[in-house]
Amino acid sequence: MQPDQVVLLAVLALPFAGAVVTPFVYRVLGERTAYFAAGIAAVCLALLVSQYGNWGTVTVNWISTASLDISLVLYLDGLSFLIALLASGVGVLIFVYSGAYMQGETGKVKYYTTLLVFMGSMLGIALVVDLISLFVFWELTSISSFILIGHYQRTPSSQYAARKSMLITVSGGLFLLVGFLILHFVSGQALGDMTFTLIGTEQSLIGVPGKTSNAAAIRKALHSTGLFVPVLVLLAIGAAAKSAQVPLHIWLPDAMEAPTPVSAFLHSATMVKAGVYLIARFRPLFVPEDVITAEGWTLLFVVLGLATMTITAMLAVGSTDIKELLAYSTASHLGLIIAGFGLAEVAGGETGVFHILNHASFKATLFLVAGIIAHEAGTRTISDLGGLWRELPVTAAIAVVASLSMAGIPPFNGFYSKELLFEATWITAEHLGGIAWVLPVVAVFGSVFTFLYSIRFAMLFFGDRPDGLGEIHRPPLAMLVPTGLLALLVIGISIWPQVAIDLIVNDALASTVPGEVHHFTVHFPPKISPALLMSAITIFTGAIAYRFYDRIHGGIRRARSVPFLTANYYYNSIVEGLRRESDLVPRYVQTRILRTYAAVVLLSVSALVLAGYAVAGVAVPIQLVPDLALPIVVILCVAVVGAWAVNTASSHVAGVLTLSILGFMVAVFYVLASAPDLALTQLVIETLVLVIFLLVLDKLPEFYGEIRRSRAVVDACIAGVVGITVTVTVLLATATDPNNVIAGFFIERAGVPEEHGQILLDWGGGGNIVNVILVDFRAFDTMGEISVIAMAALAVLTLIGMRNRGESA
Amino acid sequence: MSTQPTIIARTVVRTVVPIIILTAISLVLQGHNLPGGGFIGGVLTAIALALVYITYGSEYLTEELLPNSNEDRRLPDTSEEQSGLLSGAVGAYNVTFVFGLALTAGAGLVAIALGYTFLAQSALFVSQVPIYGMLELASALVFDLGVFFVVSGALLTILAVVGDE
C-alpha cells in the first residue's frame, strides 16, 4: 500500500509552518511556546505513525522542463520511518524538556523557531530521496545547527563553536553535492535518462526494491568512467563531516556550547545520524548481493568507522566535562554504526540499524541527564561531581540504566547491537584471514574505552561528594519526565529486543541490503560464541582498567596536549591562515580608491569576456572597408575628434562641452540610421548629463596635479583592453544573424491590423514598434528596469541622505 | 551656488521650462504611435525641474512650486533632520516614483484580474470624438505613465539628494 501523499507532505510542511508562526505564538504563550512546539512534533509523530507499513513512493513534480526534471520524491520505508520517528518522537520530548530548561533564558523565539526548522529539515532528510531536495534539507540542518550552537551569541566560545560546525558540516555538504551531480551524470549513461532520484521509482539509481534493480548498471557505469572511487570518497566526506567521523569529529565536542536540549536532539539523536543515514541509504547502491566485502566500500567505511570508534572513545576517557565526554562518545558510537554498515556481511547491516535506534535511546537519555546535572548542580566538570544519588535518586537510576546500555553490558540493549558488530567483524575476518583479523581486535580495543567512560559517567552519582559541590535542587517534572520516558524506552528494548526488531528494525534493515532480506532475530546467546567471548573480554579488561582510570585519563590528556597530534591544531592553523590571507584583500583590492575598483572590475570583465571568446573559438569578422554612407562617416569622424578633445581639454568646461560633442554626434548617428527613438533618448540623456555637470562644475577642483607617466601608461593599457573587448563584442554580436522570427513577429504584431473591432487584444496596436515592445511585448523587462531605477534612487536616499542618521541615534 | 545666476539665465529658464514640460507630456502621450514614451518624457521632466533648481535654488522649488508640501508631507513623528528626506521636495519625488511603480504593477494586476496574463495590454478604439475623430485608448499608456513617474521621480530624488551635498 502506498503512503498517503497529503499526509507525508503535511509531515514535512508542519514544522516549517510552525516555525513561521512561532514569533506570534510566543507573544501570546510566552514560556509555554515549548508546548506549542511539542504539539507540532506530536502531530508529525502521529501522522507518521498512521503511515506505518505503507512503504512506497510519492512523487510531486516540482521543476519540469526539457533540460531539468526535478521532482520532490518522497519515499517511505523502514529506514526513513526509523529516522523520521526519531526526529519527531525525540522532538516531542526535547520540546517539553526545553520548556523547563530554557526558563528565563534569552532568545527563546529564535530557539524554538530554529529547533522547529531543524526538525522539519531532519524529517526532510529522512523522507525525500531525490538528491537535490536531500541536499537542500541536508544543508538546512547544518544551518539550523549553526544557529543553535551559537545560541549564546555573545560568548566567544559559542561563536568559535558555531563557526567551526558550520565550516565543517556545510563544506562536507558541498562534497556531497559534487558526488550527487556525478551520480546524476553517470545515471544517464547507465539508464538512458539522467535522474536525481535515488530509490523508489523505475528510473531511479537503485530501482524499486524487490522489482527492479539498477544498482549493478550504475556500478558498472561508474567503473567504466573511472568515477567509482571519487563518488565513494565524496559521499564519505559528506557523511563523515555530518556524523563527526575522524578527523572531522572536532566540531562535535565544541558544539556542546549549545543548550543541552539541543545537544541531546541534534548532536546525539538526529542530526549526526544524517551522515549515518546517508551511508545506509546508499548501501544497496554500492554493496552487491551476497558478498562478504564490497569493493572499496568495505575498506573505506570499516577503516573510517573503527578508527573513529577507537580514537574518539579514547578522547572521551580523556574528557574533563560531562558534555564533552558524551560528545566524544557520540562520535564513537556513530563510528560503530558506520563500521557496521561498512561490513557487507548481513550482521553488519543489522549492527548499523539496530544501533541507530539503541544509540538514540540511551544517548539522548544521557544528554538529558547531563542537562539536569548542569542545571541543578551548576557545574559540568567531572572532577567536581560525585555522590549525586542522594539528591537526585531518580536521575541516578536513569543514568545507571543508560550508562550500562552504552557500555554494552548485558542484558541492556547496547549489548545486543555491539554483539552484532563483534559477530560481523569475526565472520569477515574468518573469511578474509590475514590482516582482516585486526578488525575484531580493534573492535574490542575500542569497546574497552567505551566501557571505561560509560562507567565513569555512572560513577558521577556514587562515591564521595566533593567539597566544592553546592546545594543541588530537585529537577522540575518537565525535565524529569522526558528523561524517564527515554530511559523506559531503553529498558523496553532491553527486555523485548525482538519486539523492536519486528516492529521497525527489520524493515529498516531491508532498506540497507540489496535484494531479499531474511528476518533477523536477537536473543541472549545460548551458547558460547566468538562474539560473546569478545564481549566478555571487553567487560573483563574494562573492569580491570577502570582501577587505573585516572592514569589513563592523564595519559590521554598528555597526548592531546601535543599540538600536531590533534585535528584541532590543523583546523585552527587553516582558519588562522585563511584569516591572514583575507587581510590581504583590503590592502590590494578594497583600497578605497575609485581607480583601483574601476581597474579591477573592468579588467576582470574584459578578461572573462575575452577568455570566453577564446574558449568558444570564435573568429572575429573583420571588414576593412565598411560600406557606410558619407554623412555617417563624417559624423563618426567628428565624434572621434570630440573624444580626442576630451582628453586634451585644458579646463572642466571645455572637457564637458567636448564630451557632449561626442554624445550629440552619436545621437545624430542614430537619426541617420533611422532610429528616432534611440536618438531622442540619447539627446535627453546627453542633456541630463550636461545639466548634472553644471550642478557640480564649480565644486570640482581646478587642477588635479600632474599624473605620473607610469600610471598614465597603465591606465592607457586598461582603456585599450576595454576598448578591444567592446569592439570585438560588437563585431561578433552584429556578425551573427539569428533567425528573425522574433523581429518578424514584432513587426507583424505591433501595429493596428487592417480590420479590427472596437477592442484590440492580440495586437500591439501602436505605430511605434520600439514603444510597443517596451510597454507591451517586453513589459515585464521594462518593469524590472524601472524597478532598478527606483532602487537606485532609494540607495542614494539611504546611503547619502541618511548616512548621518546612525550615529545620532 | 557660489555665484548668483545671471538675469539672462533666469529669464531663459522661466520661458523654457514650461515648453520642456509640455514637450515631455506630448512625448509621453504620442509615444505609442510616434517617437517618444515614458522614459524620454520622464528624463525631460527631470531636466526641466533640474534647470529650475540650478538657477533658482532648492528653496524656491520647495516654497514656490510645492507650497503645501512642507506641512502636508511631513510625517507626524519626523524630527528636524528627517524632514529634508521624507518631506518637502524630496518627499514629493519619493511619492512620485513609488506611485509610478505601483501604477505599472497595478496595470499588470488589472490584466490578471480580467483573466489575462500579467501585463497583457489591449487597446480600445473610440470613434466620433470631437476634434480627434477616431481615438485609440491603449492600456499601455497607463503602463507608460507609470514608467514616466518612476523615471522622473527617481532622477529628481537623486539630483536633489546629491545636489544638497
**Yes or no, beta carbons of A800 and B159 under 8 Å apart:** no
Please name the residues in contact with A199: beta carbons below 8 A apart, sequence gap of 6 or more: A75, A129, A205, A206, A207, A208, A209, A281, A284
> Where residue B69 falls among pLDDT bands split at 50, 70, 90?
very low
Q: Is the per-residue pLDDT at B163 higher than 80? A: no
**Yes or no, beta carbons of A768 and B37 under 8 Å apart:** yes
Cβ atoms A399, A325 nearer than 8 A: no
Q: Is the per-residue pLDDT at B77 higher than 60? A: no
How many helical (H) and strand (E) elements, i.e. helices and strands, does chain B have?
A: 7, 2
**Yes or no, beta carbons of B35 and A677 under 8 Å apart:** yes
Please name the residues in contact with A112: beta carbons below 8 A apart, sequence gap of 6 or more: A19, A22, A26, A33, A34, A36, A37, A95, A98
Q: Average per-residue pLDDT in chain B?
A: 77
Question: What residue spans of A150-272 are helical by DSSP H?
Answer: 156-191, 215-225, 228-242, 251-254, 260-264
Residue of chain A whose alpha carbon sits nearest to that of B91? A797
* C-alpha cell recorded at residue A708: 605620473
Cis ω before A631 (30° cut-off from 0): no
Å between B68 CA and nearest CA of chain A: 22
DSSP state of A564: G
Q: What is the mean pLDDT of residues A498-512?
A: 85
Q: Within a 10 A sphere around the Cβ of A721, how many other Cβ atoms? A: 16
What pLDDT score was predicted for residue B114? 79
**Yes or no, beta carbons of B40 and A676 under 8 Å apart:** no
Torsion of CA A115, A116, A120, A125, to 10 degrees: 10
B residues 12-31 near A, CB within 8 Å?
27, 31
**Yes or no, beta carbons of B161 and A765 under 8 Å apart:** no
Q: Out of A694, A779, A790, whose CB is closest to B121?
A: A779
If one compares B41 and A292, the residue with the highest pLDDT of the two is B41
What amino acid occupies position A800?
A: I
Q: Average per-residue pLDDT in chain A?
A: 86
Please name the residues in contact with A173: beta carbons below 8 A apart, sequence gap of 6 or more: A135, A138, A139, A142, A238, A241, A242
Q: Give B108's contacts in chain A (Cβ within 8 Å).
A: 779, 783
| A298-331 per-position pLDDT tens digit | 889 999 999 999 999 999 999 988 989 999 999 9
Q: What is the mean pLDDT of residues A21-45?
A: 91
**Yes or no, beta carbons of A775 and B147 under 8 Å apart:** yes
Q: Give A692's contacts in chain B (Cβ within 8 Å).
A: 50, 159
| A256-300 per-position pLDDT tens digit | 888 888 888 888 888 889 999 999 999 988 888 877 777 788 889
A715 burial class (0-12, 13-18, 19+ CB within 10 angstroms)? middle
Residues A542-555 as b or e (16 or more Cβ within 10 Å = b): beebeeeeeebbee
Chain B CB within 8 Å of residue A620 CB: no
DSSP state of A618: P
* Structure ipTM: 0.84
Q: Chains A, B: CB contacts under 8 A, how many? A: 168
What pLDDT score was predicted for residue A177? 94
CA distance B164 to A613: 45
Residue appearing with cell numbers 541507530: A356
Q: Is the per-residue pLDDT at B65 higher than 70? A: no
Q: Give B125's contacts in chain A (Cβ within 8 Å).
A: 756, 758-760
CA distance A399 to A484: 10
CA distance A209 to A5: 20
* C-alpha cell recorded at residue A342: 561498512
CA distance A111 to A99: 11
If one compares B71 and A785, the residue with the highest pLDDT of the two is A785
* C-alpha cell recorded at residue A19: 516555525
CA distance A413 to A429: 25
Which residues are registered as beta bridge partners of B124? A759, B137
State the helix-helix crossing angle for A228-242 and A297-317, rounded to 10 degrees: 20
Chain A CB within 8 Å of residue B142 CB: no
Chain B CB within 8 Å of residue A528 CB: no
> Where residue A450 falls among pLDDT bands split at 50, 70, 90?
very high
CA distance A490 to B27: 81
Residue of chain B whose alpha carbon sits nearest to that of A789? B154
Chain B CB within 8 Å of residue A805 CB: yes
| A740-760 per-position pLDDT tens digit | 677 777 777 777 776 676 677
* Most confident of the ranges A266-270, A533-537, A650-654, A740-744: A533-537
Q: What is the mean pLDDT of residues A797-809?
A: 65
Please name the residues in contact with A358: beta carbons below 8 A apart, sequence gap of 6 or more: A405, A413, A414, A416, A417, A490, A493
Q: Assign residue A204 a region: left if phi > 0, alpha if psi is -120 to 50, beta otherwise? A: beta
> Where residue A705 falls among pLDDT bands split at 50, 70, 90?
low
Q: What is the mean pLDDT of residues A47-62?
A: 86
**Yes or no, beta carbons of B33 and A767 under 8 Å apart:** yes
Å between B37 CA and nearest CA of chain A: 7
What pLDDT score was predicted for residue A808? 47
Q: What is the mean pLDDT of residues A454-478?
A: 84
Q: Give B150's contacts in chain A (Cβ within 8 Å).
A: 786, 789-790
Q: What is the DSSP string of A622-661?
A: --SS----HHHHHHHHHHHHHHHHHHH-SSHHHHHHHHHH
3-state secondary structure at position A802: coil
Q: Give A800's contacts in chain B (Cβ within 8 Å).
A: 161-162, 165
* C-alpha cell recorded at residue A198: 535515488
What pLDDT score was predicted for residue A144? 92
* Most confident of the ranges A400-404, A596-600, A614-618, B82-86: A400-404
Cβ atoms A141, A125 nearer than 8 A: yes
> Where residue B2 falls among pLDDT bands split at 50, 70, 90?
very low
What is the side-by-side strand order in the sheet with A759-760? A759-760, B123-129, B133-138
What pLDDT score was predicted for residue A16? 94
**Yes or no, beta carbons of A793 and B97 under 8 Å apart:** yes
**Yes or no, beta carbons of A759 and B122 under 8 Å apart:** yes
If one compares A742 and B30, the residue with the highest pLDDT of the two is B30
Strand runs (DSSP E) across chain B, as ranges?
123-129, 133-138
Q: What is the mean pLDDT of residues A209-217?
A: 83
Max alpha carbon distance in chain A (Å)? 107
**Yes or no, beta carbons of A797 and B161 under 8 Å apart:** yes
> Where residue A63 falls among pLDDT bands split at 50, 70, 90?
low
| A75-93 per-position pLDDT tens digit | 998 899 999 999 999 999 9
> Where residue B81 falls among pLDDT bands split at 50, 70, 90?
very low
Angstrom distances, CA of residue A16 to CA of A124, A259, A669: 11, 21, 59
* C-alpha cell recorded at residue A147: 544557529
**Yes or no, beta carbons of A760 and B124 under 8 Å apart:** yes
Which residues are registered as beta bridge partners of A128? A74
Q: What is the mean pLDDT of residues A700-718?
A: 78
| A415-427 per-position pLDDT tens digit | 888 888 898 898 8
A residues 671-730 near B, CB within 8 Å?
676-677, 680-681, 684-685, 687-688, 691-692, 694-695, 698
Q: What is the reported pTM? A: 0.73
> Where residue B66 falls among pLDDT bands split at 50, 70, 90?
low
| A486-500 per-position pLDDT tens digit | 999 999 999 888 888
Å between B10 CA and nearest CA of chain A: 15
Q: What is the DSSP string of A330-399?
A: HHHHHHHHHHHHHS-SHHHHHHHHHHHHHHHHHHHHHHHHHHHHHHHHS--BGGG---GGGT-HHHHHHH
Å between B40 CA and nearest CA of chain A: 6
Residue of chain A whose alpha carbon sits nearest to that of B136? A765
A residues 724-753 near B, CB within 8 Å?
752
B residues 63-122 near A, CB within 8 Å?
81, 84-85, 90, 93-94, 97-98, 100-101, 104-105, 108, 116, 118-122
Q: What is the DSSP string of A699-767?
A: GS-S---PPPHHHHHHHHHHHHHHHHHHHHHHHHHHH----THHHHHHHHHHS--SS--SEE-SS---S
What pLDDT score was predicted for residue A563? 79
Report the percent of chain A where pLDDT is more than 90.
Answer: 30
**Yes or no, beta carbons of A765 and B101 under 8 Å apart:** no
Q: Is the per-residue pLDDT at B157 higher than 80? A: yes
> Which of B19, B33, B78, B149 to substitute to test the interface with A, most A CBs within 10 Å?
B33
Q: Within a 10 A sphere around the Cβ of A163, how many other Cβ atoms? A: 16
Chain A CB within 8 Å of residue B144 CB: yes
Chain A CB within 8 Å of residue B124 CB: yes
Chain B CB within 8 Å of residue A788 CB: no
Chain B CB within 8 Å of residue A563 CB: no
Q: Which helix (H) or strand (E) holds A328?
A: helix A322-342
* C-alpha cell recorded at residue B70: 512642507
Cβ atoms A249, A75 nearer than 8 A: no
* C-alpha cell recorded at residue A130: 531525490
Q: Which of A792, A774, A765 is nearest to B28 (CA)?
A: A774
CA distance A385 to A373: 9
Q: Is the per-residue pLDDT at B86 higher than 50? A: yes
